[in-house]
Amino acid sequence: MSNNQNPLLETFNTPFDTPPFEKFKPEHYLPAIKEAIAMSRKQTEEIINNPEAPSFENTIVAMDKGGEKLGVIAHVLFNLNSAETSDEIQAAARDASPLLSEYSNEVWQNLDLFDRVKKVYASKDELDLDVEQKMLLEKTYKSFIRNGANLNEADQERFKEISMELAQLTLQFGENVLAETNDYEMVIENENDLSGLPDMIKAQAAETAKAKGQEGKWIFTLQAPSYIPFMENADNRSLREELYRAYMSKANKGDERDNKETIKKIVSLRTEMAKLLGYASFAHYVLEERMASTPDTVLDFLKDLLNKAKPKAEEEVAELKEFVKESGDDIDLQRWDWAYYSEKLKKKKYNIDDELLRPYFKLENVLNGVFLTAEKLYDITFKKLDNVPVYHPEVEAYEVLDASGNHVSVFYADFHPREGKRGGAWMTSYRDQEVRDGNDIRPLVSIVCNFTPSTPDNPSLLTFNEVLTLFHEFGHALHGMLANSKYSSLSGTSVYWDFVELPSQIFENWCYEKECLDLFAEHYETGEKIPQEYIDKIKASSTYHEAYATVRQLSFGFLDMTWFNQSLEEAQSMDDLSKFEEDAMAPTELFPKVPGTMMSTQFSHIFAGGYGAGYYSYKWAEVLDADAFSLFKEKGIFDKETATSFKENVLSKGGSEHPMELYKKFRGREPKVDALLERAGLV
């Protein structure tokens, strides 16, 4: 196939240079990746062979600007592999991964290139660089060190082998989890087994069955919009247990999709790589470039929060057990009972539940509310685009404009579960913001979710948790869309990973405020605004079982740190992974272990995503977001001065400065934990 026949290598003649998805076929990806790598190699050779003395512009900036086409193609391939995959796209991603790892190693271990970078780095104090330029130089220099440029030849070869194998293993891990999620179906034939379920959830299950050729039955899956309502509402305890066990045993069945051996290899290889570079563990390697900086800091942080949350969480469990007894149910409370009885007690205490609130959260209205909230805070507006290609008919594209009508970004929204989409919710980009040849290249940003779909009788009505998720991912999107950096590698969400959740988590806070809810929360049939008493109940119930949720989140943080804070000898001698997990999570356990279940085999965040040795960052960022939002509460949630400061010092700055410096510029001081403890009801 010649280059001019490969649409991935051509100029995208589309509005805003967006990817023309409809032209891309699975067979295009690998040839395009190979050609783009060749183009990038040529750019690298030009930097090395430049006869002029190494300078910040001809070496550091030239490196940051290089590989543009390769970046675009890789973004498209790996984003689609998460959001709209197929066997062919998965195969292309598997084939492309080692090539990209090999090329990355080739760049970061190139001693001639490193020699030029070292010369610039050595003269950094005489170069009169601004803060962002200093950050780019520091990051570039460190990247060589952290990718093995200082290793001897044999160790460099081993580093390359490790990184290529890890690229394959992490993909394999994610594919196994996706396949396990897609394959499971709980088929219900007797309507009595649906007792307790809301009509909308029953209708959705009937639609799923119909789509799978089983009309007249009901099918529940492991996708969140199906799984969660069933666990919260189904009276049939044995079916709840069946669904729970299926969910919690993903990729842990001893078959070809079992992830345990994959985990062993990932942990062992990451630890070996860290040791090659001189670090005590993979966690030490990762945390060198995080706000937390060391495993001890992280573990102290997690233990401190656990000490504050666990006594309250134990009280919550005891209260629920008492409620079960009062209800007349003679059972020993198990994990598959928690959501069910928790919902019932919540309804009793606050007279509120998901089904009461859903009618006020029609998806289109909530999305409009997200847009209006961003407009009131940051003076941006959203215009639906019908002329921009999308990768699936359900995806919508919008142009983001500033107060003067200037183009800010393209925003893609993709909301409902599909077989080709992995579970969860995330923000990503197809192009990051940067200044290139004097032009401000604006970003292409996407959020991907798995929300309750519509049925023939109802539009898509969200739970309050889904509303929070939409605001959360949109907070990430704002970080990408409002980026204002010179260099793509420092732009948008390219920040320390324990800072990246601040923009997303702070945006959730607006969902609890009447002033914000009044913008969009209205009954989808009557148009009635959400009643004040419901808003009061949402706020009053916001700390309901918050200690339990905190302990659960901390359990994942401990598990992550235990996997990756091991020596190489420990990592290579791991045997019983189930016991390893049980020991790691023991300090946080509030229920007995369920045999056959395992978190690690489906823990895509740390084994297939970028959160290895970084899962603590969700709680770390909660300290930041609670502290930051307390300023909005003090000044007014739509206070323009506060919002502008947050936009200018956090959202637009990306990774151009150290995050603590950015935070202090916004808040006037370092963060305090008090606001989080108060918000979570832990004081």
Is residue 545 pLDDT above 70, yes or no? yes
Mean pLDDT of 215-241: 97
d(CA 103, CA 160): 10
Nearest to 204 by CA among 228, 181, 239, 175: 228
Q: How many CB atoms lie within 10 A of CB 607?
A: 26
pLDDT per position as a tens digit, 578-594 = 999 999 999 999 999 99
At 435, give phi and psi (nearest 5°).
-105, 120
Output the pLDDT for position 455.
Answer: 87
Of all helices (H) and strands (E), which one includes residue 231? helix 224-233
Cβ 476 vs Cβ 482: under 8 Å: no
pLDDT per position as a tens digit, 397-456 = 999 999 999 999 999 999 999 999 999 999 999 999 999 999 999 999 999 999 999 988
- Map tokens 């502008």 to a residue: 644
Chain centroid to Cα 563, Å, comes to: 20
Output the pLDDT for position 4.
Answer: 58
Count the alpha carbons within 13 Å of 306 in the hemisphere toward its beta carbon. 20
Alpha helix ranges (H) inside 541-607: 546-564, 568-572, 577-585, 604-607
Is residue 2 pLDDT above 70, yes or no? no
Q: How many CB atoms lie within 10 A of CB 672?
A: 13
Angle, in degrees to the nearest 10, between helices 546-564 and 260-276: 60
Per-residue burial over 71-103, b = 16 or more CB atoms within 10 Å of its CB, e = otherwise: bbbbbbbbbbbbbbbeeebbebbeebbbebbeb
Written as six digits, the tokens of 455 are: 């049925």
Output the pLDDT for position 1.
Answer: 47
Cβ 84 vs Cβ 421: under 8 Å: yes
3-state secondary structure of 411: strand
pLDDT per position as a tens digit, 265-319 = 999 999 999 999 999 999 999 999 999 999 999 999 999 999 999 999 999 999 9
- Map tokens 């189904």 to a residue: 234
Active centre residues (catalytic): 473
Written as six digits, the tokens of 136 are: 């780019």
pLDDT > 70 in the chain, percent: 99
d(CA 359, CA 521): 9
Set out the domains of the chain in order of their start, with CATH numbers. 3-108+110-146 (1.20.1050.40), 184-247 (no CATH)
d(CA 627, CA 245): 38
d(CA 218, CA 215): 8
3-state secondary structure of 541: helix
